[in-house]
Structure 1
Amino acid sequence: MLTPRRTKFRKRMKGRLRGMATRGNTVAFGDIGIKTLEHGKLTSQEIEAARIAMMRHIKRGGQVWIRIFPDQVYTSKPAEVRQGKGKGAPAGYYAPVKPGHVLYEIKGVSMELAREALVRASHKLSVKTVIVMREGL
């Protein structure tokens, strides 16, 4: 799973996701990719599950780029613990995404195979997505 090597603080505040993605909103490395249509928080487990689904479908041919990284921590308290007594312990990492952000890109396989692989990957994600192609293809 993807996790940061080290962070400045163990716990962070949630923050807000507003507006459209201004960076990372074009297909830059591959020929075809997945773009988000809504705000969301993709956990490291979701990102890895989508990557595995893509790689298994293209049988490790071609090249895949992951354009997001889960660097925000989320916390949780143990089950059956009373409220109060501070914030819970770190439980995992997530990547905040805005609408228009390209998540994955593929190059080096046929367009039909890449499209099917991206559809399988999109089923693993908790945000609505659309398949986009690089301009000029």
Structure 2
Amino acid sequence: MFSLQTLRTSVSSFPHGVRFRSQLAPRQVQHIKRHKGRVPIPIGGSTKGTTLAYGEWGIRIKGMGVRFSAKQLTTAEEVIKRKIKVVKGAKVYLRVFPDIPVCIKGNETRMGKGKGTFEFWATRVPTGRVIFEIGGTPIREELAREALRQAADKLPTIMEFITRSTPPRLGNLVLHPEVPAPTAAAQPVETS
């Protein structure tokens, strides 16, 4: 049978002293190396994660889905925090988390010899997903728009500014709410 020590070492994370540990990273991982994978394409009917949940203002992906690294997300978050620190009690919400390990082999390396070493953490985000939200206290739209624009400039895809009233997205399709058609009872009847 398994001993407790064997179980701990199999579930424990990578060795201490690994590069980039100060950035966003999961606390524990079972396997430090993973397949490359692909950015998901939203073709189902789910609109989960495409509208605001916590804040009043936000940005979501308008262009192609992309893989964000932990460094890119951290940099964008710092830009937002620096811009909105004048507002007391303002909060920044990060809606995605880098939990995918990316491994890279060195340049001019011969084929074989196994998978490369761990390099950084990343996350795959499809089109329409909300990345950052700003809330906590009332913030002027101009300030929020400028802070999120600067953060979007740090990220490698096209973003759009959204509010609470922005409709959800399904990939590239914006789902506008249906307007009910007027019924016959609601229309005035003309008599002559």
Q: TM-score under structure 2 normalisation? A: 0.67
* Bigger radius of gyration among the two: 2
Q: Could you tell me which residue of structure 2 aligns to residue 65 of structure 1? A: 93
| Identity across the alignment (%) | 35
**Displacement of 1:128:** 1.3
Which has the larger strand fraction? 1
Structure 1 unmatched ranges of 5 or more: none
The change in CA–CA distance for 1:51 and 1:60 in structure 2 (over 3 A counts) is: farther
**Displacement of 1:83:** 2.6
Name which of 127, 130, 154 aligns with 1:124.
154
Q: Could you tell me which residue of structure 1 aligns to residue 14 of structure 2? A: none
What SS class does the counterpart of residue 24 from structure 1 fall into? coil
Q: Could you tell me which residue of structure 2 aligns to residue 44 of structure 1? A: 70
**Displacement of 1:60:** 5.7
Q: Could you tell me which residue of structure 1 aligns to residue 124 of structure 2? A: 96
- CA offset digits 1:48-91 (Å, max 9, x no partner): 00001111111263111000100001001234432321110110
1:76 aligns with 2:104: yes
What SS class does the counterpart of residue 133 from structure 2 fall into? strand
Larger relative CO (CA 8 A, sep 6+): 1 or 2? 1
After superposition, the CA RMSD in angstroms is: 1.6
1:35 aligns with 2:57: no
How far apart in 1 are the matches of 2:39 and 2:80? 27
What SS class does the counterpart of residue 35 from structure 1 fall into? strand
The change in CA–CA distance for 1:19 and 1:78 in structure 2 (over 3 A counts) is: closer
Q: TM-score under structure 1 normalisation? A: 0.92
**Displacement of 1:97:** 0.3
What SS class does the counterpart of residue 102 from structure 2 fall into? strand
How far apart in 2 are the matches of 1:16 and 1:81? 24
Q: Could you tell me which residue of structure 2 aligns to residue 12 of structure 1? A: 34
How far apart in 1 are the matches of 2:32 and 2:123? 16
